[in-house]
Amino acid sequence: MPINSDVIAPLGNAELSHRRPAKLDRFWYGAVYYPEHWDAATRKDDAKRMRDAGITIVRMAEFAWDLMEPEEGRFDFSLFDDTIGHLGDHGISTIMCTPTATPPRWLTLKHPHLGRVDVNGVVQIHGTRQHACHMNPVFRQYSRAITQDMAAHWRASTHVVGWQTDNEINCHFSECHCASCQIAFQQFLRRKFAGDIGKLNADWGTAFWAQTYDRFEDIPTPRPEKPAYANPAHHLDYFRYLYDGVARFQHDQVEILRAQKPSWWITHNGIMSHVDYRGLFSQDLDVLGYDVYPMFHWEHTTRAAGQAFSCDRARANAGNFIVPEQQSGPGGQRPYFHDTPEPGELRSMTYTSIARGADSLLYFRWRTCRFGAEEYWCGIIDHDNVPRRRFDEVKRIGAELRAIGPEIMGTHVHVDAAVAGADIHVSDAHSTYHLGLPSDVDISWQVHKELFDAGYAVGCIHPSDDLAGVKLYVIPHWAVFDPAWVPNLTRFVERGGTLVIGARTATRDWNNNVVPDTLPGCLRALAGVTVEEYGKQNRPDLRPLTLQLPGGTELRSENWFEQLSCARGTEVFATWKERHLAGSCAISLRRVGTGHVVYVGTYLTTALAKALQPEFVRLAGLSKLWPDAPAAVQAVRREAVGKRLWFFLNHGEGEVTLASTPRGTDLTTGKSSGGPLTLPRHGVAVIKEASHELPGARKPKARK
Ligand code: GAL
């Protein structure tokens, strides 16, 4: 088998978009299952119970390499054969996983150099998971071999319908500085710079601190603060090397699986650090998986908003996703134990995922295990194997999904207002040189939450993606920025969109160096503004700066100020009040085509996002998705040509009533909708609208 193959091809799904529905023929509903944790009698009963709960698929084997290959070259797939067959007899299909997150002990003993090495030079040892380096050629060879053996073994199975590669690559630890990584990093750079070391020196600015390199073989992986600050261009290219490396590692497996049986669909469960889910990694998959654990959001009052934001960010990468792991109980690990979902809350979290882009969903996990590192990560069924209310809830959802699942497929999530998202290069660049400022993700979350709380159809979209139909688009402080995105943004504005650009956007180039232009660089012409001076507010409490907004509102800025000067045709929208900035422009507004560009010369905060929202709404002509939904209710619409599905989810502490609902059928009850609807705490309605006038939909005949 070839080692370190340089080419990833063919890539089947290059057209990634937030609007892309999953390439699946049905909505799968299921659970993550570990037959290796249970005896034969228990396993026997499981299949019947699963079928009763409406489960149509399980996922298996991601940590079972030691059982399937107990000694090198000796395979025993019998446990999984029996389980797959037995489940299949009950109408339940299987997603198999390549087990490469947990190499067996014989492998790590035979090849101790597989261990990842952290930034301090500490080698990760056997005993947990994800300790082997994806770039190690020996590990890649073993990973290919086990994938090949599993794929060949299950090729003829009619019950295995899809595969998950590995498990949450980079979940615990994403960097590695082992000996293999030194070589693989150098190979990556040689490819990236087409063998031109002079170009690397120029692009990285190696003239600073005597870093000039004569040969690619001389370049180490960067170790920031060992002893001093790293070159940010070197650092970002190291992260890009990690994206490339895990995509290649995964591709080895994808290639083998596709060659064995092209009809298998392939996924991977994210979203973790240093993986480019909008790049090669997801282009290689049929559908991206996103593991949803809302209970990590500790504050229940903002948990639904947090889940919505994470699902929207996931969807921004590659479109609709599947949820290979949806939290089904409290999760516990050595240092924490989550809130226990209240009655109805599991259902509400499930429908939040579905509303915001899930095209299939499996719970983590079928039953809580009594041993090992995750013995308090609760599943649908408790340790004692007694099905209780969580099981009943899963069963209820299973029954509902018989009607809802087929309606979901092929639809996308409707978005009126979006926050820029899904660019790992931008987010990682921030981490290389953050100046002590909040990240793009921190700020996106605040802006998204304000729009979510106010009832707008909010989402996350990458600036190069399809912005058609979107009315408001906010780019919060994307310092690294690709000029190639500007034409798409210009089109968006010319056609009537409102673009909001946060301070410091487009101040750094794709190499992660400061741009030579006057700021905001490649966005200067579109925004019609120049930044004359900028500064960080380290103690805004001691030297406050106030923004004077239209209508007399005054608001303190935090983090950052910019003094703007407006080009002809650009209006001053807000001014600074104090110190040497007094009277100068803080926020500008420019009309372009039938749209607007707002440049905000400070960092967006919750308070500022709240204060500016009415102005953004007015400029963008934004209206609430379902004005009759009370504040506690999340309203989301999934749609396709000729179809609209409405989700209403009550996240409040008590019962709420919507004064009206779309006319159609509530698929959770089968009852007609249109009038008022009362939802209990954690209550959910999924309404299929009877008729509407989406392009392509047949207009209802006029009644006399
Ligand atoms: C996920 C992981 C699972 C399990 C779960 C609960 O991140 O994929 O294997 O660990 O979390 O911790």
What's the pLDDT score for residue 6?
Answer: 46
How many angstroms is it from 304 CA to the middle of ligand 1?
A: 20
- Report whether residue 377 contacts ligand 1, using a CB cutoff of 6 Å: yes
Query: What is the pLDDT at residue 247?
Result: 98
Q: Is any atom of ligand 1 closer than 6 Å to the C-beta of 252?
A: no
Task: Please state the rounded mean pLDDT for residues 635-651.
Answer: 98
Instruction: Answer yes or no: is the C-beta of 291 below 6 A from any ligand 1 atom.
Output: yes
Write the Ramachandran bin of 670: left for phi over 0, alpha for psi from -120 to 50, otherwise beta: left
Question: Residue range 648-664: average pLDDT?
Answer: 98
Q: Is the pLDDT of residue 526 over 80?
A: yes
pLDDT digits (tens, 9 = 90+) for 341-378: 999 999 999 999 999 999 999 999 999 999 999 999 99
- pLDDT tens digits for range 671-685: 999 999 999 999 999
pLDDT digits (tens, 9 = 90+) for 419-443: 999 999 999 999 999 999 999 999 9
Residue 167 Cβ contacting ligand 1 at under 6 Å: yes
User: Among 59, 100, 129, 167, which is best to mutate for testing ligand 1, by the most ligand atoms less than 8 A from CB?
Assistant: 167
* Percent residues over pLDDT 90 in the chain: 95
Max Cα distance, the chain (Å): 84
473 Cβ contact partners less than 8 Å away, ≥ 6 residues apart: 417, 418, 419, 420, 461, 467, 489, 492, 497, 498, 499, 500
Q: What pLDDT shows up at residue 703?
A: 37
Q: Please say whether the beta carbons of 620 and 471 come within 8 A.
A: yes
Please report which confidence band the pLDDT of residue 10 belongs to, taking 50, 70 and 90 as the band edges: very low
Ligand 1 in contact with 374 (CB < 6 A)?
Answer: yes
Q: Give the pLDDT confidence score for residue 692 in this predicted structure.
A: 61
Residue 171 Cα: closest atom of ligand 1 = 7
Name the β-bridge partners of 419: 460, 474
To test the pocket of ligand 1, the residue of 374, 376, 378 to mutate (highest count of ligand atoms within 8 Å of its CB) is: 374
- 698 pLDDT more than 50: no
Q: Say which residues have a Cβ less than 8 Å from residue 230's Cβ, sequence separation at least 6.
A: 222, 223, 224, 432
pLDDT tens by residue, 22-49: 999 999 999 999 999 999 999 999 999 9
Helix, strand or coil for residue 76? coil
Question: Whose CA is closest to atom 6 on ligand 1?
Answer: 377
pLDDT tens readout for residues 372-411: 999 999 999 999 999 999 999 999 999 999 999 999 999 9
- Residue 82 exposed, middle or buried by CB count within 10 Å (0-12, 13-18, 19+): middle
* 269 Cα–ligand 1 center, Å: 10
Task: Answer yes or no: is the C-beta of 272 below 6 A from any ligand 1 atom.
Answer: no
Q: Look-up: residue for tokens 């993550």?
A: 32
Structure confidence at residue 14 as a pLDDT band (50, 70, 90): low
Q: What is the pLDDT of residues 52-111, one digit of tens each?
A: 999 999 999 999 999 999 999 999 999 999 999 999 999 999 999 999 999 999 999 999
pLDDT at residue 162, as a whole number: 98
Q: 331: Cβ below 6 Å to ligand 1? A: yes
- Does the pLDDT at position 696 exceed 50? no
What is the helix (H) or strand (E) element at residue 683, kind and residue range? none
Q: How many Å apart are CA 371 and CA 37, to the nearest integer?
A: 9
Categorize the per-residue pLDDT at 605 as very low, low, confident or very high, splitting at 50, 70 and 90.
very high
Distance 306 CA to ligand 1 centre (A): 19
Average pLDDT, the chain: 95
Determine the residue of 130, 168, 272, 295 to mutate for testing ligand 1's pocket, defined as the one with the most ligand atoms within 8 A of the Cβ atom.
168
Q: Where does the pLDDT of residue 691 fall: very low under 50, low under 70, confident under 90, or very high at 90 and above?
A: confident
DSSP H or E run through 516: none
pTM of whole model > 0.85? Answer: yes
- CA-CA distance, 401 to 351, in Å (whole number)? 10
What pLDDT, on the 0 to 100 scale, is given for residue 699? Answer: 44
Q: What does the pLDDT average to over 408-419?
A: 98
The number of the ligand 1 atom at minimal distance from the alpha carbon of 62 is 9
- pLDDT digit string (tens) for 185-209? 999 999 999 999 999 999 999 999 9
- Give the model's confidence band at 505: pLDDT under 50 very low, under 70 low, under 90 confident, else very high: very high
Rounded distance from Cα 326 to ligand 1 centre (Å): 10
